[in-house]
Structure 1
Amino acid sequence: MANLKDDERLDFLLAENLRIIQSPSVFAFSLDAVLLARFVYVPIQKGNLIDLCSGNGVIPLFLSTRTKGQITGVEIQERLYDMAIRSIEYNGLQDRLHMIHGDIKEMPKQLGYGKFDVVTCNPPYFLTSSKDEVNPNEHLAIARHEILCTLEDAIKASSQLVKQGGKVAFVHRPGRLLDIITLMRQYRLEPKRIQFVYPKKGKEANTLLVEAIKDGSPDLKISPPLFVYDEDDQYTPEIRAILYGE
């Protein structure tokens, strides 16, 4: 039995045959997290992986089905960290998945520099220019806006945590592409693979996936585009395969 609190619910991660604790008022993962967990290269047999800005632990849970390595999640909000811990316990993954309640900016000092083979991050997307633009729900505001963590904070921490030759993968908005590439190169992360995700054909891309290598040589590949919905507003076969394993 899951130990649920308040308005929490136990949802299926269908393709992975796992369950996750979510809350409509605190946090529920989006497609972006699923796409990042599928996009990033991971060593299958072993390795040391870390996910920054983990929320309720969705990316560590997804990654657990793709690698037998050790996975650490970092989340600054205690309520979300608590949800992640309970989800990991519910799925019996405590031997491989570990959560840290803390600030990603402190993780290199706390965990050590160059310790990880892979770093993933689904950071807050939106710059915080005025109080009026921020979600009044504190949990959602922190998850979505650069209040406690900026894009530069996330990229700098990722670079410090990853081994030389290790991989760092982010999901973000296409409008920040130049910021991401500029900051990655500033912190010795060379972008190697980019994929744009589109709501449907004929629409502008609304999601960006990027993978970089620490001190890698310049050679950027653009993956084929990914479309979420077809002309009938149903999930495309590619998205159905990611979500449901079909």
Structure 2
Amino acid sequence: MINLKKNERIDYMYSDHLKIIQDKTSFSFSLDTLLLASMAKNSIKDNFKVADLCAGNCAATIYMAYFNRAKYDAIEIQEDIVSQAERSVTLNQMENRIKVYSENVKDATTFLRKDYYDVIVVNPPYFKVVKDHKINPDAKKAIARHELLINLEEIINVSSMLLKMKGKMFMVHRPERLNEIAYYCLKHDLSIKLIQPYVSHRGENSNLIIIEAVKHTGSDGLVLKDPIEVHNQSGDYQPVIQRIIHESDTEKRSRADRKEYYFYVLLCSDGSFYGGFTDNLKKRLQTHNDGKGAKYTKARRPVKMIYHEKFADKKLALKREYWFKHHSRQWKEAFLKEHRVDF
């Protein structure tokens, strides 16, 4: 059970598959976060290393991780938002694939590996801090929206240093800063290869862009995509946006037909824990108690199943099992207590 702090609530993404903790009085993720994550996920393979800079409460990271088995590092400077991110990661059973850092992105190369990441995702502060410019009095919102703690060039420079050769950076931003983005990308060995604009309604100027830039490659070959219209005349989201926000009926039917897999934890007769994987909890427990489940449990019968998690993907369940087994007894106890397991 995850504890919520004052003014916090649990919201949902991608229909009801993903949970995210947010402060209802402060800054929450918005559509630009999901647009960025949806575009980036199409370039992420299962064996990739991904970093999410200016990650907020990890909405983009969690969304991307739902569609693959990649490993993610997320950086956010505001401690209370980091807490929301970490608890959201736990809510979605992704602790073994997502690590959250409470740091300034400009210092990322001091704790993350250079030339290591396949994909960098960035949702940076959009606005410069200029004389007489009104800044939100809410410190959390001001830091998220304005370049108070990091600026555009610093973000692009760090992204380039973290990316491996031919790695990709995806950034969401305002069209009015495209000149700067292009200049700093070229300055720091990144070439913009694709620009995807978004418009609220057809015929209006673009109010949002997502750029895809590649490290250490030629600067030619940029593709400027047709703007995607976000709203219809009634103000509802267009189907292309709905597919990002909600699972389609086709996907629902496909998911319903898929087999389910489980990571589980047994309490053995000697008080030790055993982590395993199965597609049938009842049958697997019986197999263990019959002495045919595993060499470890055979000598420690009877065993009791005290915890399990469900996955739609076999490899994700296996990753979870591997992650659990490679921790200390003290860590396993803390994990189980955090999940309100009485052992």
Per-residue Cα deviation, 1:10-38 (whole angstroms, up to 9, x for no partner):
00113471100011223210101100001
Aligned to 1:161: 162
Task: Kindly provide the amino acid, as one letter, of the partner of residue 63 in structure 1.
Answer: M
Deviation at 1:175, TM superposition (A): 0.3
Task: Kindly provide the amino acid, as one letter, of the partner of residue 25 in structure 1.
Answer: T
Q: 1:106 to 1:92 in 2, by over 3 A?
A: same
Deviation at 1:222, TM superposition (A): 1.6
| Cα distance in structure 1, aligned partners of 2:67 and 2:169 | 16
Aligned to 2:19: 19
Return the TM-score normalized by structure 1.
Answer: 0.96
Per-residue Cα deviation, 1:159-195 (whole angstroms, up to 9, x for no partner):
0100011000100000001110010010000000110
- SS of the counterpart of 1:133? coil
| Cα distance in structure 2, aligned partners of 1:110 and 1:206 | 35
Please say if residues 42 and 67 of structure 1, whose CA atoms lie closer than 8 Å, have aligned partners that are also in contact.
Answer: no
Instruction: Within 5 Å, give how 1:115-154 maps onto structure 2.
Output: 115-130=116-131, 133-154=134-155
| Cα distance in structure 2, aligned partners of 1:118 and 1:11 | 26
Aligned to 1:109: 110
Task: Kindly provide the amino acid, as one letter, of the partner of residue 38 in structure 2.
Answer: R
Structure 1 residue runs of 5 or longer lacking an equivalent are none
Per-residue Cα deviation, 1:79-102 (whole angstroms, up to 9, x for no partner):
111100000011111010110000
Please say if residues 44 and 67 of structure 1, whose CA atoms lie closer than 8 Å, have aligned partners that are also in contact.
Answer: yes
Please say if residues 120 and 168 of structure 1, whose CA atoms lie closer than 8 Å, have aligned partners that are also in contact.
Answer: yes
Deviation at 1:130, TM superposition (A): 3.8
Task: Kindly provide the amino acid, as one letter, of the partner of residue 34 in structure 1.
Answer: L
Report the aligned-residue RMSD: 1.3
| Cα distance in structure 2, aligned partners of 1:42 and 1:65 | 14
| Cα distance in structure 1, aligned partners of 2:241 and 2:192 | 24
Aligned to 1:206: 207
| Cα distance in structure 2, aligned partners of 1:134 and 1:17 | 35
Task: Kindly provide the amino acid, as one letter, of the partner of residue 146 in structure 1.
Answer: E
Per-residue Cα deviation, 1:112-155 (whole angstroms, up to 9, x for no partner):
21110000000000111146610000000000000001111110
Higher relative contact order (CA 8 A, sep 6+): 1
Aligned to 1:191: 192
Per-residue Cα deviation, 1:209-240 (whole angstroms, up to 9, x for no partner):
00000012221012232111011111101111
The number of equivalent residue pairs is 246
Aligned to 2:229: 227
Task: Kindly provide the amino acid, as one letter, of the partner of residue 30 in structure 1.
Answer: S
- SS of the counterpart of 2:124? coil
Aligned to 1:237: 239
Deviation at 1:66, TM superposition (A): 2.4
Please say if residues 2 and 10 of structure 1, whose CA atoms lie closer than 8 Å, have aligned partners that are also in contact.
Answer: no
Return the TM-score normalized by structure 2.
Answer: 0.70
Single out whichever of 218-227 and 161-170 deviates more from structure 2: 218-227
Single out whichever of 204-213 and 20-29 deviates more from structure 2: 20-29
Per-residue Cα deviation, 1:29-61 (whole angstroms, up to 9, x for no partner):
010110000112433221100000000111110
Identity %: 34
| Cα distance in structure 2, aligned partners of 1:16 and 1:228 | 21
Single out whichever of 90-99 and 103-112 deviates more from structure 2: 103-112
Aligned to 2:94: 93
Aligned to 2:177: 176
- SS of the counterpart of 2:142? helix
- SS of the counterpart of 1:181? helix
Moved over 4 A (4+): none
Please say if residues 14 and 244 of structure 2, whose CA atoms lie closer than 8 Å, have aligned partners that are also in contact.
Answer: no
Please say if residues 16 and 65 of structure 1, whose CA atoms lie closer than 8 Å, have aligned partners that are also in contact.
Answer: no
Deviation at 1:197, TM superposition (A): 0.4
Structure 2 residue runs of 5 or longer lacking an equivalent are 249-343
Please say if residues 44 and 66 of structure 1, whose CA atoms lie closer than 8 Å, have aligned partners that are also in contact.
Answer: no
Please say if residues 50 and 120 of structure 2, whose CA atoms lie closer than 8 Å, have aligned partners that are also in contact.
Answer: yes
Aligned to 2:254: none
